[in-house]
Chains A and B, each alone.
Chain A
Amino acid sequence: MNHLFIVTKRELSSYFVTQLAYVFILMFLILSGVFTFYIGDLYERGQADLRPFFGFHPWLYLFLVPAISMRLWSEERKSGTIELLMTLPMTRSSIVLGKFLAAWLFTGLALTLTFPLWITVNYLGNPDNGTILASYIGSWFMAGGFIAVGSCMSALSKSQVIAFILSAVVCLLFIMAGFPMVLDIFEAWVPLRVLDGIASLSFLSHFQAISKGVLSLGDILYFISVIAAFLLATVVVVELKQAN
C-alpha cells in the first residue's frame, strides 16, 4: 500500500516536472472547448446541459489518453530505469497500479479543470447538476479504461510511438464495438447472443447511458472490469518481458 503511494507520487510529479502535464491539460481544455461549442453547438441547441461536451469525450480520449499512457512503460524500458524499478523491493502489482493511478488521477485533474463549462451552463440556465456530476464520474471511469489499455500496450514495446498507435487502435476497437458499422459485419453470421456480447464490450454504449445522466452500477462495473483486466494483463506482460 505504501509502495503504491510512493510510485503514484513519483509518477504524478514527473508529469509536472516535464512539460507533459501543462501541454496535455491545455490541449484537453482547448479541444473540449472546440468540440463543445463549435461542433457540439452548445449554444444553438438552446439547452442548458453538457451533453455535447461529454458526447465527444470518447473521441477526445482516443488520441489524448494514449499520449499519456504511451510513456508509462516504454520510457522506462528505453531509458533503462525499468531495471532500477524492478530491482527495488516492490511487488509488480504495486508498480503497475501506482503508474495507472498516477495517469488516472492526472486525467481526473484535467477533467476537473473543465469546470468553467459547468459554470457557463449554470449561468445560462438551470441544468441538472446531478446529471452533470454523474457524467463527470462516468467520463473519468471511461478514461481509466483507456489508460489501462494504454498501460498494457506500453508494456509491450520499447517505442512510445508503437505504444501510442497500438493503444489508439485497441481503444478505437473498444469504442467501435457498439457501432452499427462494426455490428453489421457480424450481424449476418453471428448468433444474436454473441452480437450482444460484442456490443456490450463497447465503451460507447456504456458511456452513452452515462452521458445522458444515467449512472448505473453496471456501467461503472463494466469500466472497472476493463481496468482490472488490462492492468492484470500489464502485470503479465511485465513479468513475461522479465523472463527475456
Chain B
Amino acid sequence: MIEISHLGKKFGDAEAVINLNLNLVPGEILGFLGPNGAGKSTTMKMLTGFMNPSSGHVKIFGHDVMSDRIEAQKLIGYLPEGAPAYEEMTTQSYLGFIAEVRGFSGLEKKKRVEEVIVKMSLDKVVHQKIETLSKGFKRRVGLAQAIIHDPIVLILDEPTDGLDPNQKHQVRSLIKSLSKEKIVVISTHILEEVTAVCNRVIIISEGKLLSDCSPHELEKKSAFYGAVSIEFHVDVDLNAVSDALISLSEVDKVQVADGLLTVYPVATAKLYTVLYNFFHQNGMFESKKPTAMYLEKGKLDDVFRQITQGDAA
C-alpha cells in the first residue's frame, strides 16, 4: 500500500502541498483532481522520489521514498507530466534502455519490450526516433516505459493530455485492464476521466486536500444530481407546466429554458417516477407532447468548481 503522512512541500515561502494524509490500497484507482498549480504534480514528484518533501513521509509498501528510495522506485511505474523521453532514441532502443535499467536482459528484455509495444500499439513506430513521433505516440511510449516492469504502483501525471478521443479511450481501457492488485494514481483535470476509470477521487486545491470520495459520491454533491430534464417543442407554454410541477411535494424548484424544463428534487426524492406518473395521470404526454425526459447525473464540473472555488454551483 501507499502511506502518505503529513506530506508537505514548500518552495521558499510558497506552500505547494500542505499536510497531506492519504492511504491507498491495492485495487484502488485514484483520480487526483485539482486546478492547475494545485500541487498535483508536486505530490507525484514526491511520491516517486524525484523531489524531497519538506515535511512528512511517503511509504510505498513499507519502503520510505527518501531513506529507501531505490527499493520504493523498483515498485513504481511513473509517467511524468508531458511524457519526457530521450527524443534522439528510437522507440525500441528507448524501451530497451528502460528495460535494462529495470533489471531485464537477454530474452526477458526482448520479451518485455515486445509486450509493451503490442500493448500500446507502437508496432508502427518501433524504429522511428521519438522526436519524430506525434503527441499521441509519444504519450504511449511514455506509458509503455511506465508499465514495462509490470509495477504494482502506477503513477501517471496527466496520461491522456493532448490525446484524441480514440487514444484517450485506449489509454483508459489500458488502465482499467490492469490487474486488480495494483495501485494506480492518475492526475488529471479532465473530469470525465475520473468517472471513466477511477474508483476513488481526491480533490486538492492550493496544496490542501478538499475532498476524498468515490466518483459517484462526488456526482451526488452536484445540485444536478437526481434532477430530471424534460424537452418540449418550442411552442409549448412551459410556464404553465412549471407552475403545475412546482406544486408537487417532491419538487424543489423548476428551471425554465428554451424548450427545456429542469426539475430539481427535494432531498432524496425519486423524481423521474414521480414526474412520469404525474404526466401520465394528467394526460400531459398527449397535451404537451414532451420530446424527451431524462434523469440527470451529477455534473462534476459544478462540483469541482464548488469545491475548489467555494462557489455555489
A residues lining the B interface (CB < 8 Å): 3, 6, 10, 13-14, 17-18, 79-81, 83-84, 86-91, 242-244
What is the CB-to-nearest-CB distance from B82 to chain A, in angstroms, rounded to a whole number? 6
What is the CB-to-nearest-CB distance from B128 to chain A, in angstroms, rounded to a whole number? 13
- Known A-B contacts A6-B100, A87-B78; A81 and B89 likewise in contact (beta carbons under 8 Å): no
Interchain Cβ contacts under 8 Å between A and B, 17 examples: A6-B97, A13-B93, A14-B88, A14-B89, A80-B81, A80-B84, A81-B86, A83-B84, A84-B80, A84-B145, A87-B48, A87-B49, A87-B76, A89-B71, A90-B70, A242-B51, A244-B51
B180 contacts A by Cβ under 8 Å = no
Instruction: Report the count of interface residues on B (CB-CB < 8 A).
Output: 30
Asked if residues A88 and B84 are in contact (CB atoms below 8 Å), the reply is no
B45 contacts A by Cβ under 8 Å = yes
Q: Note all chain B residues with C-beta closer than 8 A to A90.
A: 70, 101
Extra pairs beyond A10-B97, A79-B87 (11, CB < 8 Å): A3-B101, A14-B86, A17-B88, A83-B50, A84-B80, A87-B73, A87-B76, A87-B78, A88-B73, A89-B73, A89-B101
What is the CB-to-nearest-CB distance from A233 to chain B, in angstroms, rounded to a whole number? 19
B280 contacts A by Cβ under 8 Å = no
Asked if residues A86 and B101 are in contact (CB atoms below 8 Å), the reply is no
How far, in angstroms, from A123 to B180 measured CA to CA in the complex? 73
Interchain CB contact (< 8 A) of A86 among B49, B81, B145 = B49
Tally of contacts, chain A with chain B, CB under 8 A? 62
Q: Which among A10, A13, A81, A89 has the greatest number of chain B C-beta atoms within 10 A? A: A89
Asked if residues A81 and B50 are in contact (CB atoms below 8 Å), the reply is no
What is the CB-to-nearest-CB distance from A133 to chain B, in angstroms, rounded to a whole number? 35
What is the CB-to-nearest-CB distance from A110 to chain B, in angstroms, rounded to a whole number? 20
Asked if residues A243 and B52 are in contact (CB atoms below 8 Å), the reply is yes
Q: Note all chain A residues with C-beta closer than 8 A to B88.
A: 14, 17-18
How far, in angstroms, from A10 to B98 measured CA to CA in the complex? 10
Q: Which residue on chain A has the smallest CB distance to residue B48? A: A87
What is the CB-to-nearest-CB distance from A16 to chain B, in angstroms, rounded to a whole number? 10
Q: Note all chain A residues with C-beta closer than 8 A to B305.
A: none
